[in-house]
């Protein structure tokens, strides 16, 4: 019973740690995307769409990481 409790506690802590890490990654990626969108208002380039897509892709990856971290 004690071993089971220990296992469940470690499992729970692992999930919490994963959740916090994923949340941090998601917030960091959103902040960087916002920063890049700000930069794009300063200078209009043909590459704007490429950088926008790159940023959105990284945010989606971070979101996916957050959703899967609780499994």
Question: Is 61 a residue that touches other proteins (CB under 8 A)?
Answer: yes
Q: Which is nearer to other proteins, 2 or 43 (CB)?
A: 43
Kindly report each contact of residues 17-23 with a partner whose C-beta sits within 8 Å and lies 24 or more positions away, as own/partner: 18/69, 18/70, 19/66, 19/69, 19/70, 21/69, 22/62, 22/65, 22/66, 22/69, 23/66
Question: Is 63 a residue that touches other proteins (CB under 8 A)?
Answer: no
Other CB atoms within 10 Å distance of the CB of residue 26: 19
Among 16, 39, 53, 67, binds other proteins (CB under 8 A): 39
**Interface with other proteins (CB under 8 A):** 14, 18, 21-22, 25, 28-29, 31-32, 35-36, 38-45, 47, 51, 54-55, 58, 61-62, 65, 69
């Amino acid at each position: 019973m004690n071993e089971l409790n220990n296992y469940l506690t470690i499992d729970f802590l692992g999930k919490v740690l994963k959740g916090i890490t994923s949340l941090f990654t998601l917030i960091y990626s959103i902040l960087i995307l916002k920063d890049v969108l700000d930069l794009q208002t300063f200078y209009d380039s043909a590459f704007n769409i490429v950088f926008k897509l790159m940023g959105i892709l990284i945010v989606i990856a971070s979101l996916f990481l957050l959703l899967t971290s609780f499994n």
